[in-house]
Amino acid sequence: MAVTPESLSGQDVGSFAYLTIKDRIPQILTKAIDSLHRHKSEFFEKHGEEGMEAEKKAISLLSKLRNELQTDKPIIPLVEKFVDTDIWNQYLEHQGHLLHDSDEKPRWFYSPWLFVECYMYRRIHEAIIQSPPIDTFDVFRESKEQSFFESLESIRSLCACLQETLGTPDALHGERLKAEFFKFLQISLWGNKCDLSLSGGESRSQKTNIINSLEDLKPFILVNDMERLWSLLDKCRQAQGSAAVRVALVLDNSGFELVTDLVLADFLLTSKLATEIYFYGKMIPWFVSDTTARDFKWLIDQARQSGHQGVSKCGGDWGRYVETGRWVYRDHVFWTLPHEYSAMAQVAPDLYAELQMAQLVLFKGDLNYRKLTGDRKWEFTVPFHRALNGFHPAPLCSIRTLKAEIQVGLQPGQGEQLTASEPTWLTTGKYGVFQFDGPL
């Protein structure tokens, strides 16, 4: 078994990890501070003087964090009691270092990038929970809602497309069913391009119409295991009888991407390729645009109240799926810890056991891919199964656009060829994968 390579980190000057820690993360912190400033009067209206004090305190805590980062101060333990504070501080103690057992304190540019970036978002959350009564404020809420409203045109055509498909009986059988499945999978893949942490919080709303460009986008799919997804679900359907077919969807960004995921989930349920969908979101605001329980509910309510017929039909259906338990939304602290997924079985055995109950687990987005593969410097041709490093709760598939310098499971020469022709292929979100691990 090849040794597990070292983690990506900011110590590699010029690497994407380095540029993220040096440039993008401070930019995201500044936007979080700006968001607090912009809500000053709202805090005063709601909470009076106390709200003003709280706003000042949260801003000073975030400014202190930005200074620690920009002057590469040692990474310090979390101090505010929260459900995961102890787990974080244990991690900081034992794994926050690049060089294990070094008595040095972990540092921003000399610790695993995955840990450092997750830690930064968890420190934002700590600053907010330390500032009651604004301790439930989501500094990213405005940008998440703005990206939804800016994508409304695309959302309307996507919902209309789904309603048309669901209203065409023979679209839900045989070869047509497979083609429609592949269509909604690809729409969900390219929906992942819209993420605010890559753009440093600049709006990346969905403007072009993805549905009409699927053929043009096909060459940018570097690993395409859609056939394996189809044969797995089609086999389940044939053998189904009364057994449940659960598809777990580990969510990524809210806004347009979430709509593409709910559209895919609706299609899976209505076509009977699945009988229940479990959605996994984030317990705290995360990587700017990641979906929280509030974002999930807000989006379905927005759709339900829409004046657009296709959107409101979707919203009504989606609300009913949740109310009748065919769609289940789940929170778990593990998704906002810094751990690689190969650690889930021992850090969060309850979550691992729950994923084992699914017939298929779909992981959306780049951060999930980094955690599936441990954010390590694997060779491009290492098999995905090996990079998962023992994480096999159920047949799983990463549906990801590339936004970090890590990709496995490529053909010999494929990565080198891309680097030669397009040096930024790993980090612009322009390329994507459907990467499956499960029974042949």
Residues that bind ligand F6P (CB under 6 A): 20, 24, 117, 192, 195, 197-198, 252-253, 287, 365-367, 370, 403-404
- Residue 117, contacted partner among ligand F6P, Mg ion, none, CB below 5-8 A by kind: ligand F6P
Binding residue for Mg ion, selected from 16, 280, 287, 380, defined by CB under 5 A: 287
CB of 114 to Mg ion, least distance (A): 13
- N residues, the chain: 440
Q: Which lies closer to ligand F6P via its Cβ, residue 66 or residue 403?
A: 403
Q: Can you read off the two tokens belonging to residue 103?
A: 């008595």
Contact between residue 277 and residue 392 where contact means Cβ atoms under 8 Å apart: no
Q: What's the CA gap between 394 and 94, in Å, rounded?
A: 29
Contact between residue 396 and residue 246 where contact means Cβ atoms under 8 Å apart: no
Return the C-alpha torsion angle 143, 149, 153, 158, nearest 10. 80
Q: Which lies closer to ligand F6P via its Cβ, residue 87 or residue 402?
A: 402
- Residue 112, contacted partner among Mg ion, ligand F6P, none, CB below 5-8 A by kind: none
CB of 404 to ligand F6P, least distance (A): 5
CB of 403 to ligand F6P, least distance (A): 4
CB of 330 to Mg ion, least distance (A): 17
Q: Which lies closer to ligand F6P via its Cβ, residue 51 or residue 338?
A: 338
Q: What's the CA gap between 119 and 379, in Å, rounded?
A: 27
In sequence order, the β-bridge partners of residue 399 are 364, 434
Q: What's the CA gap between 272 and 266, in Å, rounded?
A: 10
- Residue 225, contacted partner among Mg ion, ligand F6P, none, CB below 5-8 A by kind: none
Q: What's the CA gap between 376 and 46, in Å, rounded?
A: 46
Interaction between residue 195 and Mg ion (CB under 5 A): yes
- Residue 147, contacted partner among Mg ion, ligand F6P, none, CB below 5-8 A by kind: none
CB of 112 to Mg ion, least distance (A): 18
What phi and psi, each to the nearest 5 degrees, are found at residue 263? -65, -45
Q: Which lies closer to ligand F6P via its Cβ, residue 17 or residue 344?
A: 17
Q: Which lies closer to ligand F6P via its Cβ, residue 252 or residue 266?
A: 252
CB of 376 to Mg ion, least distance (A): 20
- Residue 24, contacted partner among ligand F6P, Mg ion, none, CB below 5-8 A by kind: ligand F6P
Q: What's the CA gap between 330 and 98, in Å, rounded?
A: 32
Q: Which lies closer to ligand F6P via its Cβ, residue 55 or residue 252?
A: 252
Number of residues that bind Mg ion (CB under 5 A): 5
| Token pair 């189809």: residue | 230
Contacts (Cβ under 8 Å, ≥6 apart) of 22 = 10, 109
- Residue 366, contacted partner among ligand F6P, Mg ion, none, CB below 5-8 A by kind: ligand F6P
Contacts (Cβ under 8 Å, ≥6 apart) of 298 = 145
Q: What's the CA gap between 440 and 435, in Å, rounded?
A: 13
* Subset of 315-354 contacting Mg ion (CB under 5 A): none
